[in-house]
Amino acid sequence: MSSVSREVLKWIQSLDLTWQVKHPKWDLTNGYLVAEIFSWYFPQDVEMHNYNNGKSLQSKTKNWDLLKLFFRRQKIDIPEEYIDGTIHCKEGAASLLTERIYEILTNRKVRSIPPEYEIDFTDRAYQVKLPIHARNTASQSIKTNIRLTELLADSDILLTQQKAVHLITEHVEHRRLERIEDPIRFERKPTIGELAVRHPPPAQRQDTEASLVQ
């Protein structure tokens, strides 16, 4: 649980949950422990016998539907992308969800270090730490960052295609930047346009000469 701040970790441990949260990405995905956390603060509104500790998509959907209904009733503001990311085990989503819950229930602000990269719930932050030769290919990136549960929960082919195109576009852009940063490894040679000496167009030079004569 190293991705969650120490103060949040200590708070979770103090709640004496059914089992210890070690890996938020996997431990919180079905919503059961999230419901248990809120049951400590709202025992009359979150009754644990209504929640199922199963791992199937059906169990996840039922638990989170109940939680979302509870959030609306209590006007608890938790970003939808945090919830969806947690359901589908997206990188970093469960940690952000945990910190948000901590802030809501304790009325304290998490003192966290700003992320080096924009949070997009992909494994980009991990990939950039790897040697270039060990990083994902475009197809591997799609397999890693589009979960099976996403496809089962939403069978919209167009939406899936949009997610895949977005991942491929990001992958191509990262590769382009890598080629610029390390041209020797990629045996990148400057283009003719980059090698050419640039002069102003003839018309512009004539205008400049005319202005000097005047």
As for how many domains the chain has, the answer is 2
pLDDT on residue 113: 53
Query: 131 and 48 in one domain?
Result: no
* Residues with pLDDT less than 70, the chain: 1-2, 112-175, 177-191, 193-195, 197-214
What pLDDT is attached to residue 55?
87
* 18 shares a domain with 102: yes
Residues 70 and 159 occupy one common structural domain = no
Q: Is residue 114 part of a domain?
A: no
Query: What is the reported pLDDT for 2?
Result: 45
CATH number at residue 53: 1.10.418.10
Q: Are 70 and 141 contained in the same domain?
A: no
In a domain, residue 201? The reply is no
Please indicate, yes or no, if residue 206 is contained in any of the structural domains: no
Same domain (yes/no): 29, 58: yes
Please answer whether residues 67 and 34 qualify as being in contact, where contact means their C-beta atoms are separated by less than 8 angstroms: yes
Q: Which tokens go with 157?
A: 């082919």
Rounded CA separation 141/171 (Å): 8
Q: What is the mean pLDDT of the chain?
A: 75
pLDDT of residue 3: 72
| Torsional sign, CA 97, 103, 106, 109 | positive
Task: Please give the single-letter amino acid code of residue 67.
Answer: L
User: Domain check: are 137 and 91 in the same one?
Assistant: no
| In a shared domain, residues 12 and 73 | yes
Helices (H), 107-191: 124-127, 138-145, 148-153, 157-181
Same domain, 27 and 67: yes
Do residue 10 and residue 102 come from a single domain?
A: yes
Residue 197 included in any domain: no
* pLDDT computed for residue 101 by the predictor: 96
Distance CA 144, CA 97 (A): 21
Same domain, residue pair 96 and 130: no
**116 found inside a domain:** no
Domain that holds residue 174: 124-191
Asked whether residue 85 falls in the same domain as residue 129, the answer is no
CA distances from 198 to 166, 191, 192, 202 (A): 36, 13, 11, 12
Q: What is the DSSP letter of 116?
A: S
pTM of the full predicted structure? 0.59
